[in-house]
Structure 1
């Protein structure tokens, strides 16, 4: 038989041979460590995965023969419409109801792939012929809708050259081929051919940002002859996936950014500039603690940082149907690769995106109104506390009774000279005169009454002296109101606190939050930046600021300098959280980026960068001024006393004059003489 005829032999095991070759090679890789190429990678597709999902195709009859047992899930897309839910292990209606409740549009492909990822934990996928186009279209959305996620997704696509020539514009331009590095394409000239080309997607280099991107390029790695079960040709270049991820050859990474110091710094006047996709030109300078992390990462991995300033004015919001607005919405739409800016662990966003390791710790606190000087009509009562005033009243009552009884007892030898009513009036009037250091015209010859008068006078002069000293201290050293400068006091005062976005309270888990935090959430309001700037100068409100890991404060740019005089920084945080970066699901660089973050923390560069960027782009005088507002500084020099200082005394005088006038009118009306004592 002519050798060329071997490629036309009808042999069902040819597809089995090439796919089993990709599985068996893993044993070879484990034995020969120096071999690390695409074949070893293909073997790891099977052995290192939780499960392998095979989209069965009737034209590709094969049996997968692996060295080690592997979990395999068979999915027959050609008969999905014929499946009866009663014969399936999984209740598909449960997932349908979940999709419909969240407003997610779906079809059989989305439904089946989501369940396969979520419940079978498939990490390796094998698709054949025309199924590749449908799989590539719906897999990314299914990976978003699934609760379970993996960083080790791998794909093997099997098709004929005829399909590639006819259908390449339909499926090789799908997002998954441009976004995923672990894709192997196995092709043959005919369905019954024994010679197979094994290719791997290029992934590195410049990306295409067209609405309909061109088909992705594949590099031929090996040619495998299934009849003799040998590799007949092999590319000498090192095309393994780890090498691709180490050298991205200028591949672009897009950052959604707005000016939010010190996490993100955006300036169109400084140099050097990077490319802004919103303006299609390089005209923006970027820096910041989170931005610089990605810039250094790209220096190490030879990628290019670009930005997109088209939409994000803040972090945005996520909806239950896996769509969003703002920065997180751009990540879900795959317009951005990297969402930063002091972003907390938001569960709503984590459901549909991936997160990096923590970048830092951030606390949410407030600038609250400074306490005012306490001036009111009750100022005259403040030298004594309530218990002490009660003791003074009791002491005066005892003096009154002592003088009354003594005066009545001294004249008991002369019947009718002093009645009990007259003695009681004598005791009350004498007690009041002694208390205000006034003399009396009454002359007594009784030593007992003299003794009681002297004792009462000594007690009253001590009380009035202590009171005078306390009042002088209050007028000299001002007493301040209680400020809402702690978490508990902010709750007790029921003070409204505000920010520009709802995300300031999105992080709070209402199920586990304490009553104080839940109460504070009820008093939170959202206003735009202009309103907050105006309110900070006049309103009694709290204004959100962010306390970073090493002491600097963010989100203070909205507060004008003239408003800082009336504001005070809270002593503690309302709550704190760890900041992360949000990336799209299946982001190829997540594992390498997480390792880089850990090395960055270990080196201590996180502290250095925060201090350096705060010093370069933020006002140190302003930062120190806000931090110093925690300690109240009073000017204790001479102050002019105003009417507010004496309003209590004036009210007391008015009260006495009114009582005297009413008494005088009553005496005239009764035409009755009151004896003078």
Structure 2
């Protein structure tokens, strides 16, 4: 179908704007209550607005990628309201969307009290849309020529001026020229002229540190992600305003996605433009927000109670495993039963005591007339010799090399021991809650949330593990509730629970997304992120805690050679004491039985 020739002045102007500024657009959506003839060379969708289904109309074309708009409606405020809703519910994200709003009537009405630019630019959606252009009728003295003023909003600069209309240029239909040849989309996000950028965060070392002495940090703040934000505003000439979320910390999004609390909630509810402080690429948050490219790759693991030296009473049992002890006990009863059977079930020769004596290396003081008894005795003496030698060697090794309790090294270990692990917020398990693996589900069940003081108290009780982060430069993000004294009795786990990418969160289709991602990419290329992490760690983190965690797995490998003391052989004496008590009790019992037996015999004789 051939397009008709463009004859209307507004269409001539629109043709010029499209040619100069929208040739590279992937797809353009035209919403108009009246027919418009436009010479598009690329994809476009033409819609007749339906006030009742306007959100659905815009949503459908936006999901197709047609996210630049030309609007010619009687009430363009309805479009802005629907557009703002689509931004939040849609999946397509763009930082540089363009919106052109045309006058519904091409005739200038000097009696109208309405100021369309002021109405449109004062709406919430305009605050987060940099590329807006309004075409406004101009009162021209020449009736043969139409003139249009081209207006945009201030957007940059002080907050109280960002929604003010600013005049850009004027176009005349007779000359088909612009008066000033101005850039109709001047806000390319290269200079924000001091515009306030609100950043939601809270103190969490080494990402964000607030309330620092100004003698140390002139701005009173520092941290890897704080430096990213400060560098961003230095680059784009903006002003950082912090939105403190010390109470709710990371926060959460309400189930109906209408808002939230904490850093995440501040971004969702537009209380802040940027959200930082170790925010990971969580799926639920991505559904309602924009993410920058990853800044810091972090691995999440735990510091768990370090294994202690085994108690001395356990040392006599350590040369053999439990299965070996079961085999020894089975051999003892089997051999005793064999001797008892060979003696014709005569218990007067104490077969069980003889078998026990042979197993601990005692020789027999008399020969046995039966070859059956001699063969059982011979094999039992050989087995006893082997067992005694093996046990002695194992016991010597136990005394020589310190033995520790089994350490907690893996996720399986922490689940098997039902060990609690936790922190002050459940953000640590956001990345795990959607997992279908039984092991991960059990790990999530064992996570606990406690207050700062309770976590600090529990750090001395060896009753739980504490989640920490391994950072790219070799440092650790550890909660302040783990003190230098408590860390001495903890050990870093070998296995990581998971790893994540730290991002900067923004509202969907935020005008800052592309620029923040560009900056983070440059910081990666230059290696500044690793350098900043090291600088912040050396300057603000507890160096002794960092070293203790880093060396926690090697500190038990270095021991001192010392002579045996009573504590080392306490277990042997415990076994000896138990034997004495049992033997004395048995001897006294035998005396008691013998005494009563003789007494009965005397009474019987009398």
TM-score by length of 1: 0.76
Q: Matched residues in 2 for 1:378 and 1:182: separation?
A: 75
Q: Give the root-mean-square deviation of aligned CA atoms.
A: 3.7
Bigger shift: residues 337-346 or 265-274: 265-274
Query: Equivalences for 1:161-240 in 2 at 5 Å?
Result: 165-166=114-115, 169-189=118-138, 194-208=146-160, 215-221=163-169, 223-226=170-173, 228=174, 230-231=176-177, 233-235=179-181, 240=185
Query: How far off is 1:653 after superposition?
Result: 4.3
Trace 1:610-625 onto structure 2 (pairs within 5 A). Answer: 610-625=533-548
Q: Does 62-71 or 536-545 show the bigger shift?
A: 62-71
Q: State yes or no: 1:541 paired with 2:464.
A: yes
Tell me, what secondary structure is at the counterpart of 1:245?
coil
Mapped contact 1:401–1:424 kept (Cα < 8 A): no
The structure 2 residue matched to 1:317, chosen from 241, 252, 258, is 252
Residue 19 of structure 1 pairs with residue 14 of structure 2: yes
Does the CA contact (< 8 Å) of 1:204 and 1:249 recur in 2? yes
1:373 aligns with 2:319: no
Are the counterparts in 2 of residues 257 and 312 from structure 1 also a CA contact under 8 Å?
no
Which stretch has the larger CA shift, 435-444 or 338-347?
A: 435-444
**Aligned mate of 1:586, from 509, 513, 530:** 509
1:291 aligns with 2:217: no
Please give the alpha-carbon distance, in whole angstroms, between the structure 2 residues aligned to 1:655 and 1:294: 75
Within the alignment, does 1:328 sit opposite 2:277 as a pair?
no
Task: State the shift of 1:75 in Å.
Answer: 3.5
Q: Helix, strand or coil: the match of 2:27? A: coil
Q: Does 1:385 align with 2:308?
A: no
Pair 169,196 (structure 1): closer, same or farther in 2 beyond 3 Å: closer
Partner of 2:274: 338
Matched-pair contact (CA < 8 Å) for 1:339–1:581: yes
Cα shift readout 1:233-290 (whole Å, capped 9, x = no counterpart): 124x656546x4222222222211211111112124225878xxxxxxxxx5222112
TM-score where L is the length of structure 2:
0.84
Q: Secondary structure at the match of 1:265?
A: coil
Instruction: Give the superposition deviation at 1:71.
Output: 1.7
Structure 2: any 5+ residue segments left out of the alignment? Answer: 1-5, 602-606
Question: Which deviates more from structure 2 when the two are superposed, residues 468-477 or residues 517-526?
Answer: 468-477
Paired residues, number: 582
Deviations 1:168-200 (A, max 9, x none): 553322233333221111111369972111233
> Contact conserved, 2:424 with 2:449, CA < 8 A, in 1?
yes
> C-alpha distance in 2, partners of 1:214/1:204?
6
Contact 2:121 2:153 in 1 (8 A): no
Residues 1:117 and 2:69 aligned together: no
Specify every segment of 5 or more residues in structure 1 that has no aligned partner in the other structure, as ranges.
1-10, 27-39, 82-107, 275-283, 409-418
Q: Which residue of 2 aligns with 1:464?
A: 388
In the TM superposition, what is the alpha-carbon distance from 1:657 to its structure 2 partner?
A: 4.6
Match of 1:301 in 2: 236
| Residue pairs, 1:222-621, within 5 angstroms | 223-226=170-173, 228=174, 230-231=176-177, 233-235=179-181, 240-241=185-186, 244-271=188-215, 285-309=220-244, 313-319=248-254, 320-375=256-311, 379-389=315-325, 392-393=328-329, 420-422=344-346, 425=349, 427-436=351-360, 442=366, 460=384, 463-475=387-399, 477-508=401-432, 510=434, 512-621=435-544
**Offset of 1:471 from its aligned partner?**
3.2
Identify the residue that residue 3 of structure 2 maps to in structure 1: none
More deviation in 574-583 or 384-393? 384-393
Change over 3 Å in CA distance of 1:383–1:670 after alignment to 2: farther
Q: Distance in 1 between matches of 2:284 and 2:332?
A: 68
1:249 alignment partner, SS class: coil
Q: Distance in 1 between matches of 2:323 and 2:212?
A: 66
